[in-house]
Amino acid sequence: MFRYLDASDDSFLQKDKDYNRVLKKLNNFKECLPSEDKELLLKMINEVYYKYQKSILTKSESDTELILSMIMALVTKQNLEIERLKKRHLFYVTFLPTL
């Protein structure tokens, strides 16, 4: 459902202090997840942070503001994906004959 950046190509993120703050704050939550879910979460964070970095960092001076901005970016991205899938499903239902 989610299109990802290549996880091996996140070297630019490793040097970003705000990205590392996000990961540090989410560490306790992340550690309780199964490995597959942990990997999925990290991929989602990588893509969303890369794409919406400017919006996430606007007025994100405290850790709480930074995490809330990150969560809002994740929710926005997920809603865009859901709408895209709905449109695709509607297209298939409307234009493809039933077998």
Q: Is residue 76 part of a domain?
A: yes
Tell me how long the chain is: 99
Q: What is the reported pTM?
A: 0.73
In a domain, 87, yes or no: yes
* pLDDT tens, position by position, 26-63: 999 999 999 999 999 999 999 999 899 999 999 888 99
**Residue 26: CB partners within 8 Å, gap ≥ 6?**
41, 45, 67
> Could you tell me the residue range of the domain that residue 23 belongs to?
12-93
**Domain assignment present for 2:** no
Confirm whether 5 is domain-assigned. no
- Among residues of the chain, what percentage have pLDDT more than 90? 55
51: in domain:
yes
Number of domains in the chain: 1
